[in-house]
Amino acid sequence: MASPVPVMDDISLAALTADPYPSFRRMREAASAVWVSDARINLVTRFEDIMTIERDHKRFASTNPGSLMNKVMGHSLMRKDDEDHQVERKAIEPSFRPGVVKNQWTPVFDGIAERLIDGFANGGETDLFGSFAAPMASLCLAEMIGFKDVSWQDLAAWSQALMDGVSNYGTEPDTAQRAAAASQAVNAAIDAVLDHHRNRPGPTILSSMLHAEHPHSVEQIRANIKVIIGGGLNEPRDSILTTVYGLLLNPDQRARVTADPKLYRTAFEEAVRWVSPIGMYPRRVTRDTVLGDTQLKQGDQLGICVGAANRDETRFSDPDAYDVFRDRHAHLGFGAGPHFCAGTWVARQMVGEIAVPKLFNRLTKLRLDEDRPAIMKGWVFRGPVSLPVRWEV
């Protein structure tokens, strides 16, 4: 017999933000879905339940009429299902294919990483968040989109303002205003290059949108570019830092990975499992139904906690450990199903093949800064917000 969704009113947003994993464990043990009062949403935390959800988007939809995301960014592919979703997804695919990533984007990403490391390599110490991971993710994304004359700081600020706007739930007018301003700025940046890409087809995302079999309308371009700015910047940034952090915390694993560079890819994949950059994303229940041991009602909002599922002990042994050499199992860090991350192969290359190996290759005896500990934060999005390191110059 399925039970109603249990209520947990002793889990605070502050506790989730500081370290969600003990709370995630309690939720996994409690039920297939748990109402967390402070988060005002039903959280789903078990691996199998999330697979069930992702295999049945008729019962568990991404389309969400009341979505704040639609209001802030416009109606993007992330909040569409079926045909509507597929048409837009297919349109952007040519910029994201693994072969295109390898041939077109790798040299671009490579140059960006080298230049950034040149900027601090002689210093002996840095906080990798601001000096490397954030500009790396932002500069690469600007190239992929096809922007011209947009600074990495502006793009990063737009990304943050849009994401804050989406998770603001309409409570703070200031946040809503900043999101609206960022949205305008993105529209202007798109307008500035649209004709260029219309006349000169290439590998950029804007070009793919314009030259697809079913070209995007300007409205679709604006919404989908905003989703890509919101969702394509923080995640590679955070996973660069988490991979470096995981390796620096585990010297034996680091020694094996640096000795056999093809393991950097696995080190990245394990980082995305260990501390998933997107910890939670939403789905909507379309009719009364049962999920695992829990009765859900039509209209229920679900928070799909892949960050929790990736620590599910029924799937991963010793799940809290960062272990590059664990038995290989698919994880949910890139989601699953029709909305499986479009940028997966971009991230694998940018982070696992370029950013992280280059750091370890170029900075001799890289280590964590003994005096300034790394700081991890977040649960909907999670990663190091500061990663001070030192090396020998």
Residue 84 near which of another protein, ligand HEM, none (CB within 5-8 Å, type-dependent)? none
Q: For residue 215, give the nearest of 229, 226, 227, 201 by alpha carbon.
A: 201
Choose one: 97-105, 177-185, 239-247, 383-391; the region binding another protein (CB under 8 A). 97-105
Residue the block writes with tokens 């996973």: 239
47 interacts with ligand HEM by CB under 6 A? no
Q: Cβ of residue 97: shortest distance to another protein, in angstroms?
A: 4
Tokens of 229: 């700015």
> What's the rounded Cα separation, in Å, for the pair 385 and 351?
17
Instruction: Give the one residue of 337, 372, 377, 385 binding another protein; rule: CB under 8 A.
Output: 337
Count interface residues toward another protein (CB under 8 A).
Answer: 21
Choose one: 119-127, 152-160, 276-284, 363-371; the region binding ligand HEM (CB under 6 A). 276-284
> What's the rounded Cα separation, in Å, for the pair 168 and 176?
7
Choose one: 90-98, 124-132, 183-191, 232-240; the region binding another protein (CB under 8 A). 90-98
Judged by CB under 6 A, the chain residues 112 through 141 that form the site for ligand HEM are 141
344 interacts with another protein by CB under 8 A? yes
Q: Sort 28 into a burial class: Cβ within 10 Å, 0-12 / 13-18 / 19+.
A: buried
Sequence letter at residue 155: L
Q: For residue 45, give the nearest of 57, 63, 30, 62 by alpha carbon.
A: 30
Instruction: Give the one residue of 25, 26, 71, 97 binding another protein; rule: CB under 8 A.
Output: 97
Q: For residue 225, give the nearest of 207, 206, 242 by alpha carbon.
A: 206
Task: Output 8 or 238, the one with its CB closest to ligand HEM.
Answer: 238
Q: Cβ of residue 89: shortest distance to another protein, in angstroms?
A: 7
99 interacts with another protein by CB under 8 A? yes
Q: Cβ of residue 4: shortest distance to ligand HEM, in angstroms?
A: 26
Q: Cβ of residue 77: shortest distance to ligand HEM, in angstroms?
A: 5
- The number of angstroms, rounded, from the C-alpha of 138 to the middle of its chain's C-alpha atoms is 13
Q: Cβ of residue 144: shortest distance to ligand HEM, in angstroms?
A: 6
> What's the rounded Cα separation, in Å, for the pair 225 and 134?
19
334 interacts with another protein by CB under 8 A? yes
* Helix or strand (DSSP H, E) at 258: helix 251-259
Count CA atoms within 13 Å of residue 200 on its CB side: 7
What b-and-e string marks burial along 30-58, b requiring 16 or more CB atoms within 10 Å of the CB?
bbbbbbbeebebbbbbbbebbbbbbeebe
Taking every pair of Cα atoms in the chain, the longest distance, rounded to a whole number of angstroms, is 64
Residue 272 near which of another protein, ligand HEM, none (CB within 5-8 Å, type-dependent)? ligand HEM
Task: Output 339 or 358, the one with its CB closest to another protein.
Answer: 339
Ordered DSSP codes for 134-201: HHHHHHHHHHHHT-SS--HHHHHHHHHHHHHHHTSTT--HHHHHHHHHHHHHHHHHHHHHHHHHHHS-
Instruction: Give the one residue of 57, 339, 358, 382 binding ligand HEM; rule: CB under 6 A.
Output: 339
58 interacts with another protein by CB under 8 A? no
Binding residues (CB under 6 A) for ligand HEM: these are 77-78, 89, 141, 144, 227-228, 231-232, 235-236, 239, 272, 277-278, 281, 306, 333-335, 339, 341-343, 346-347
Binding residues (CB under 8 A) for another protein: these are 54-55, 89-90, 93-94, 97-100, 328, 330, 334, 336-338, 340-342, 344-345
